[in-house]
Amino acid sequence: MALYLVGDIQGCYSELQSLLERVEFDPKKDQLWAAGDLVARGSNSLATIVFLQSLGTSFNTVLGNHDLHLMAIYHGLKKAKKSDNLDSLLTSKHIGNIIEWLAQFPLLLPLPDGKSYLSHAGISPQWTLEEALANAAFAEKKIRGKSRIKWLERMYGNAPNNWCDVKTKTDRFRYTINAYTRMRFCYADGSLEFACKSSPKDAPKNVQPWFNLMTKEQASYYWYFGHWAALMGKTNNPHIIALDTGCVWGNYLTMLNYDDKTLFTENSHI
């Protein structure tokens, strides 16, 4: 049995299939866990979702910003842009089932070794691990609950970006979603910054990658994440494993054998 971790798929169905064929993935004994952003921008989000659903309990994922945005579009809170490339998915007769299927997945996943976690964007440097787990559970409950539409509507916005400014449940939900699905850089005090999407070497001097600001407690764990294509898998920290390598932007899809740490890549078919 093997556990494979894959970066942002974003509808890159054929690249995913090529990787799985290369490792002779067998859903009867192997597991595939994704770093979120299963859909959007790529050419085949529908086929990607249908396939991942077919894996049943052999598949797991954390939610990414594009997955949550799809939910918001489906519920009429946002309009899809042409660049989202979601038409086939949104017009599928199974879209309702797909949304409910997506909503069951978490924002934070503990990995089997007990000392590693998977999330889409990372972890807020302003949280203890206990807070990170509690806030993920809080937001997941809202996404799965009967008031989902109300909470998805509240998720959009950049404020508060500092944990000490969180006063209400809405603040807590938005900050949590932003930390787990949108964050790349933070200011020196650990507050979240959302404008910069570049590599660290090209970033303004007043911000740092979130993983450079981790607490001692956080740094004692291993963190697997996607979201940040500009890193191209390079963090210069063995405890920080970046899985998004921009397949949807013409680069490549990355998959990691979690057990022996063998890395597999498939060039974009775009």
Q: Which amino acid is located at 236 in the chain?
A: N
Report whether 178 contacts 89 (CB < 8 A): no
Share the mean pLDDT of the chain: 98
As a whole number, mean pLDDT of residues 182-197 equals 98
Q: Which two tokens stand for residue 269?
A: 């078919």
Residue-wise pLDDT tens digits, 86-129: 999 999 999 999 999 999 999 999 999 999 999 999 999 999 99
- What's the pLDDT band for 79 if we cut at 50, 70, 90? very high
Residue-wise pLDDT tens digits, 229-264: 999 999 999 999 999 999 999 999 999 999 999 999
Residues with Cβ within 8 Å of 92's Cβ and at least 6 positions away in sequence, in order, are 46, 98
Report whether 259 contacts 250 (CB < 8 A): no
List the chain domain ranges: 3-267
Q: Which amino acid is located at 113 in the chain?
A: D
Backbone phi and psi for residue 208, each to the nearest 5 degrees, phi listed first: -135, 155
Residue-wise pLDDT tens digits, 132-159: 999 999 999 999 999 999 999 999 999 9
Backbone phi and psi for residue 231, each to the nearest 5 degrees, phi listed first: -70, -30
The CA distances from residue 128 to 64, 174, 194, 207, 221, in Å, are 21, 18, 21, 21, 12
Top-level class of domain 3-267? alpha beta
CA distance 135 to 197: 25
Residues with Cβ within 8 Å of 180's Cβ and at least 6 positions away in sequence, in order, are 62, 63, 107, 108, 119, 120, 121, 122, 123, 136, 139
